[in-house]
Amino acid sequence: MTETQMGPLVLNTRPETDSAELLAALDTRGYRHLSAPMLAISFPAPEKPFDISPYQALIFTSANGVRAFDQLSRDRTLPALCVGDATARMCREMGFANVLSANGDIHDLATLIRQKIDPASGPLFHPAARKTAGDLGGMLRVDGFTIDRQTVYEAIACDTLPQNVIDALHRHHIDAVLFFSPRTAETFVKLVHSYKLEGALAGVDAICLSPAVQSRISDLTWHRTHVASQPTQEYLLSLLGSVVTACRT
């Protein structure tokens, strides 16, 4: 959609690798959208062959972790325990048959692992970014789990905003901004200060995946900030619909 079409205008801040499903959902719901990815995802080539044999299961806290694992190994025999449904769908697309979703955040994933995995049966492999939200290994260590967390991709903070996004903010055309991670939110705040766009957000609603995400944008002046009742894209989009409807009635 283009900015000149009718309908609420939403700013997507997710990395490009994670945006296709979200943008399709926005199109289906009749939103216009602009994108300003706050993180660029890089998948370095593996330095050596990966041996999956020591592990009893895989842990995925993002779809990018699944994409990175695909470069490490073609083995799909181990169970894949995923933080949410989008990550679980990516696992199934990559050929995993035994996939479980916590349908939530890392606390829900830790609970799922405790319920489904016996720590005495061996370690778990967690392919992740260098910086992650929360310490999943620390949560599970007290229960006797051994988590081998390895950095398999980089999420690099962007240092610019697209010109069309800057123009739309200056003109107060954007109705809502979507935030899916604390680091994405932090990067957005830095860029707002860098471009001196603080005053452009007074009429904008911030739609956040979790309280942790909301806390990272709290020093900006928004029309309102909102948190999804569950940390999933489905609930975030439902919240967006409620906010936009309320603003237009």
Cβ within 8 Å of residue 129, ≥6 positions away: 62, 64, 65, 151, 152, 153, 154, 155
Q: List the one residue out of 217, 226, 182, 175 whose CA is nearest residue 200.
A: 175
Q: Is residue 204 part of a domain?
A: yes
Span 27-56, mean pLDDT?
92
| C-alpha 165 chain-centroid distance | 20
Q: Among residues 101, 128, 156, which one ends one of the domains? A: 156
Predicted confidence (pLDDT) per residue in 182-241, tens digit: 999 999 999 999 999 999 999 999 999 989 899 999 999 999 999 999 888 889 999 999
Res. 75: pLDDT tops 70: yes
Count up the domains in the chain and report the number. 2
Q: Is residue 64 part of a domain?
A: yes
Say yes or no: 113 and 167 in one domain. Answer: no
> Does residue 205 sit in helix, strand or coil?
strand
Provide the residue range defining the domain that includes 223.
Answer: 9-38+159-247
Say yes or no: 73 and 99 in one domain. Answer: yes
Written as six digits, the tokens of 240 are 């967006």
Q: Which CATH number do you get for residue 204?
A: 3.40.50.10090
Q: Is residue 23 part of a domain?
A: yes
| Alpha helices (H) in 94-202, listed in sequence order | 106-116, 136-141, 163-170, 182-194
Written as six digits, the tokens of 154 are 């980089």
> Does residue 10 sit in helix, strand or coil?
strand
**How many angstroms separate the Cα of 60 from the Cα of each of 80, 104, 129, 171, 173?**
7, 12, 11, 40, 37
Say yes or no: 100 and 152 in one domain. Answer: yes
End-to-end CA distance of the chain: 24
Say yes or no: 19 and 106 in one domain. Answer: no
Say yes or no: 137 and 183 in one domain. Answer: no
Res. 105: pLDDT tops 80: yes
Q: List the one residue out of 14, 79, 10, 63 whose CA is nearest residue 40.
A: 14
Predicted confidence (pLDDT) per residue in 115-140, tens digit: 999 999 999 999 988 776 668 888 89
Q: Among residues 156, 191, 212, which one ends one of the domains? A: 156
Written as six digits, the tokens of 69 are 């694992």
Span 66-72, mean pLDDT?
93
Written as six digits, the tokens of 146 are 């051994």
Say yes or no: 82 and 179 in one domain. Answer: no
Q: Is residue 2 part of a domain?
A: no
Res. 110: pLDDT tops 80: yes
Say yes or no: 53 and 30 in one domain. Answer: no
Say yes or no: 59 and 124 in one domain. Answer: yes
**How many angstroms separate the Cα of 167 from the Cα of each of 15, 58, 163, 200?**
21, 44, 6, 10
Q: Is residue 205 part of a domain?
A: yes
Q: Write out the H or E segment, with its range, that includes residue 38.
A: none
Whether 29 and 238 have beta carbons less than 8 Å apart is answered as no
Whether pTM > 0.75 for this model: the answer is: yes
What are the backbone dihedrals phi and psi of residue 145, each rounded to the nearest 5 degrees, phi first? -80, 145
Q: Is residue 4 part of a domain?
A: no
Q: What is the pLDDT of residue 5?
A: 52
Say yes or no: 52 and 151 in one domain. Answer: yes
Say yes or no: 152 and 73 in one domain. Answer: yes
Q: Is residue 1 part of a domain?
A: no
Q: Among residues 132, 156, 180, which one ends one of the domains? A: 156
Q: Is residue 19 part of a domain?
A: yes
Distance in angstroms (rounded) separating the CA atoms of residues 108 and 80: 15
Say yes or no: 168 and 127 in one domain. Answer: no
Say yes or no: 56 and 33 in one domain. Answer: no
Radius of gyration of the chain (CA): 19
Res. 248: pLDDT tops 80: no
Distance in angstroms (rounded) separating the CA atoms of residues 102 and 119: 18
